[in-house]
Amino acid sequence: MKSYLRNSWVMRWLRYINTWRKHRAIIKELNALDDKTLADIGIRRCDIDNLIWLDHDKKRRGTNAK
């Protein structure tokens, strides 16, 4: 029963929501910085979403992977 719950679509959805919330918090923090500060750390404002949502995250959407 535990393995069924761990792999159910509900649990995958909850894991995705949890990841999404963490990513959104980081995106909000970076967007709160001014352009000079972002440039100092080597990030352009237009690249923030691409840096946070890595290809690995995009490929895992809706799968059983942890």
Sequence-separated (6 or more) residues with CB below 8 Å from residue 5: 11
pLDDT at residue 32, rounded to an integer: 95
Q: What is the model's pTM?
A: 0.65
Could you say which residues of the chain have pLDDT below 70?
1-6, 54-66
pLDDT at residue 61, rounded to an integer: 60
